[in-house]
Amino acid sequence: MSEKEMSRLITSPLEKIRQTKLVAIIRSHSLKGLENTVGSLYRGGIRAVEITMNTPGALAGIERMKEKYPELLMGAGTVLDSETARLAILSGADFILTPTSKKETIETANRYNVPIIPGVMTPTEALTAYEYGAQMVKIFPIRSLGPKYLSDLKGPLPFVETMAVGGISLENAADYLQAGASALGIGSSLVDEKLVMSGDYAEIERRAACFAAIAQTFD
């Protein structure tokens, strides 16, 4: 194992997200589909995966994937309240993502020392989430705003780290990283439900490798 790989094993979850710059977003209809998808993502170079809480059996899925891929960061997404955040953390979630910003949810994650990345859209929301204790915020849905919005936001709020989510693709991923995003949350352009349903995990692996190659150019 190289020195760089060793260093990444001992970093915090948030630092690992900063380093790898990619979080794959998964919604799956079965545990088997989830396992196959995560395996394909891992082989393609993805090292952080978010299982949305509106996935059937999401908590069991987090536990299972943590057992099978202990070196992979497993997060819980679409977390809407503090109790769901607590259950996800107790199930082994390494990080929490939310579509909105709630003080109580951020406080719960911080109490357990688990990174939380709440969803925001405006400068006011971004600053408020930061003041609540979030170290990184999720600009969502970024497709409505574009890469320039991130660089504009960095002007008055250079201390707020951002993850761009919602509409990230192979065609625009580099643009968002160039604009200042610390990380990207990637959904259907990486884990297309049609690919999962048809069992085309090789294509998911190929897409993962393409995204990983883009992220590596920003190391």
Say how far apart CA 156 and CA 159 lie, in whole Å. Answer: 9
- The residue from 16, 21, 50, 102 that is catalytic is 50
| 171: annotated active-site residue | no
Please list the residues that pair with 74 across neighbouring strands.
49
Which one from 16, 21, 138, 161 is the annotated catalytic residue? 138
Beta strands in 45-187 (DSSP E): 48-52, 73-77, 95-97, 116-117, 119-120, 136-139, 161-165, 183-186
**138 catalytic, yes or no?**
yes
Cross-strand partners of 184: 22, 164
Give the contacts of 204 (CB within 8 A, at least 6 positions apart). Answer: 37, 40, 41, 44, 190, 191, 192, 195, 196
* Residue 160: C-alpha distances to residues 46, 56, 104, 135, 157 (Å): 24, 33, 20, 7, 6
The angle at the Cα of 37, spanning 112 to 57, to the nearest 5 degrees, equals 50
Place of tokens 């059996």: 57
Q: Could you list the active site residues?
A: 50, 138
